[in-house]
Chains A and B, each alone.
Chain A
C-alpha cells in the first residue's frame, strides 16, 4: 500500500525556537497529533469489522461444521466436523474436488483475460481522449454508459443478443456469411467467450474512468518535453504515460482482478441457475454448493480456500509491484 514511496510525516509547524511557555503548547499539540490519525480511521475500522471481518470469522467457523438444512435453524445442533469439509473439497479424485479445480482454472483464465482486455481498452480510450476534439465529451459519456447500467440490465441485454435464433450476434454472423449453422453462445464451449465479452463490456469503462482520472495528474509539459526530444507515440506512452500511471494501475489492476475473480452477478444473470461447465466460475460454483444444495459448511470451506488463494496472490502482487516502484 504505497508504503515504500510514501514520504515522511507532516513536519511540525511553528517557529523552531520556543520559550518555556510555548513548550507546553507544543507538547499538547503533539499528543493531539498522535491521536488524530486513529480518530480518522475509526469509522472505517468499525464498519469493516462489523460488516466484513466478524461475519468472515463466523464463515470460517461455519466451514468447520456440518451445516446442512437439518441444522441451519439451530447451529448449535450442527456436528463439529473439523476439517472434513476441506477434505471433501480438496479430494481431487472425487467429483466435487475435480469440479472445483476445473472451476478454479476457468476462473483464472477468465479473470486474466478480462482484466487484461479491460485495462488495454481503458488505456486506449483514455489516451486517445486526452487531446481535445469535436465530440470528445460525447464519447467520454458514451464510454462510461455500460458502467452506469445496472448489471442486471446490461447482462440481460447481452443474453438477448446471444440468443441462438433471435439474437443480433448470429444475425450479423449469418448476414456476413461467416457461419452456416448458427452457433450457440449461452451453452457449450462458446459460453466462455460470451461471458468474457460481457465482462469486458461491463468493466472496461471503469478502467477507462480510473486511467482518465490518473492522466489528469500528468502535466502537459512532460509530453511537450518528450515530443521535443523526438519521442514517438509509443515512446511517450512507455516513458511518460505509463510510469506516471503506475500508482493508479497498481490499484486498478488489483481491484479489477479481485472484482472479476469474485464476480457473481454476470454469470448468474447470463446463465441462470446452472452455468455451463465451460463457464463455471468459482463464485457460481460455490453458490451452487452452498445455497442451492444447502450445504453451507462445504460452501464456506470452498470460500475460505478461495480467500486464502486471493490473499496469497494479492500479497505477492503487492510485494512485487512495491519493490518495482521502490527501484523505479
Chain B
C-alpha cells in the first residue's frame, strides 16, 4: 500500500507539531536544570547564559531524592505487576466464562473507578491505622500500604481493558489448544497471554504510571521513610524559595529510568505487531 503525497505531508506536519508540543516543556526542563537559580528567576532565555551542573549536585542535598526515587520505583513496580497479574486472572474469567454474577462483578469493579479519591481517603486511612493496631500488619505510612492502595486504583481499568483485548483474541485458538488437551490455565498462559502482550504491556504501563504519579493519598499516607517522588519533589519549594532549577534537574533525573523502561517495553509492541500479522 503506497502513501500518497498528501498523506506524507499530513504525516510530517502532524508529527512535527506534536513533537514541538511534547518537546518544548522537556527542553525547558533540561536547560533550566543547567541554569543558576538567579537566571531561572530572571527573564526567560532559550540557552543557559551561565551553564552550570550545580543544580544536579545540589538537588540530592535539598531533598533525599535517592530515597524517594527508590520508594517510587519499588511501590509503582510492585503495584503494577501485582495489579496486572490479578487483572489477568479476573479478565480471563470474565472473557472466557459465563457464570452467575459475572455482570455484577463487572459493573461493581468498573464503578469503583469512579470513586472520588477524596471520598474514601479518610476512611481508608482509618481502616489502615486500625488494621495495624489490631493485626500488626502495618499499612499506614508503609510502602506496603501504598502498594495495596495503588494496585486497586489501576485494577478496574486493567481488568476492563484486558477483557477487551482477550475478547478480540479468536476463540478458535483456545479451542485448538483444548483439543490438544490443555486445561484452562495452560490455555491462558500458552495461548492468550502471548497474543495479548501489547495489551498487557499497555495495562502494566498504565498501572505503573497511576502509582508513579499519585499525590493525594501519598501526601497523607506516607512518612519520611515511605514518601514517594510525587510528593517528595514538592520539597524543592521550601520556606525560603522555589528551587526551580533543582526541581527541573531532579525531574530530568527521575524521568530517566522510566523513559528507559518505556524504551525497553517498545520491543514488545513490535513483537505484538508481528504476532498480529500472523493471525
Interfacial residues, chain A to chain B (CB-CB below 8 A)? 1-3, 5-11, 13, 33-34, 36-38, 40-41, 43-45, 47-48, 50-56, 58-59, 62, 121, 124-125, 128-129, 131, 137, 139-154, 156-158, 160-161, 165-168, 170-171, 201, 205-206, 209-210, 212-213, 216-220, 223-224, 227, 232-233, 247-248, 250-251, 255, 258, 262, 264-265, 268-269, 283, 286-287, 290-291, 296, 299-300, 303-304, 306-307, 310-311, 314
- What residues of chain A lie closer than 8 Å to B149, measured between beta carbons? 51
**In the complex the two chains form, is A9's CB within 8 Å of B86's CB?**
no
**In the complex the two chains form, is A152's CB within 8 Å of B234's CB?**
yes
- Determine the distance from Cα of A71 to Cα of B74 in the docked complex, in whole angstroms: 37
- Quick one: which of B93, B119, B156 contacts A36, CB cutoff 8 A? B93
Complex: chain B residue closest to A227, CB-CB:
B1
Q: A44-B155, A62-B123, A152-B229 are in contact. Are A1 and B86 (CB under 8 A)?
A: no
Chain B min CB distance to A245 (Å): 11
- What residues of chain A lie closer than 8 Å to B181, measured between beta carbons? 13
**In the complex the two chains form, is B277's CB within 8 Å of A34's CB?**
no
Chain A min CB distance to B10 (Å): 8
Complex: chain A residue closest to B277, CB-CB:
A220
Q: A212-B269, A303-B118 are in contact. Are A48 and B112 (CB under 8 A)?
A: yes
**In the complex the two chains form, is A124's CB within 8 Å of B114's CB?**
no
B170-224 residues with Cβ-Cβ distance < 8 A to A are: 171, 174-175, 178-179, 181, 184, 198-199, 201-202, 205-206, 209, 212-216
- Quick one: which of A137, A152, A158, A217 contacts B168, CB cutoff 8 A? A217
Supply 24 A–B pairs (Cβ within 8 Å), ascending by A: A2-B167, A33-B184, A37-B97, A38-B101, A51-B152, A54-B123, A56-B115, A140-B269, A149-B251, A150-B230, A153-B255, A165-B43, A168-B24, A201-B22, A209-B202, A213-B202, A213-B272, A216-B272, A216-B273, A217-B165, A264-B117, A286-B118, A303-B119, A304-B119
Interfacial residues, chain B to chain A (CB-CB below 8 A)? 1, 3-4, 6-7, 10-11, 14-15, 18-19, 21-26, 28-29, 32, 40-44, 72, 86-87, 89-90, 92-99, 101-103, 105-120, 122-124, 126-127, 148-149, 151-152, 155-157, 159-161, 163-165, 167-168, 171, 174-175, 178-179, 181, 184, 198-199, 201-202, 205-206, 209, 212-216, 229-231, 233-234, 244, 247-248, 250-251, 254-255, 258-259, 261-263, 266, 269, 272-273, 275-277, 279
- Determine the distance from Cα of A38 to Cα of B90 in the docked complex, in whole angstroms: 9
Additional pairs, 8, CB under 8 Å, beyond known A150-B251, A217-B168: A10-B97, A52-B112, A156-B233, A223-B1, A255-B113, A262-B117, A268-B216, A286-B118
**In the complex the two chains form, is A247's CB within 8 Å of B119's CB?**
no
- Determine the distance from Cα of A50 to Cα of B230 in the docked complex, in whole angstroms: 24
Q: A150-B251, A161-B28, A216-B198 are in contact. Are A268 and B116 (CB under 8 A)?
A: no
- Quick one: which of A44, A55, A201 contacts B21, CB cutoff 8 A? A201
Chain B min CB distance to A266 (Å): 10
- What residues of chain B lie closer than 8 Å to A141, measured between beta carbons? 259, 262-263, 266
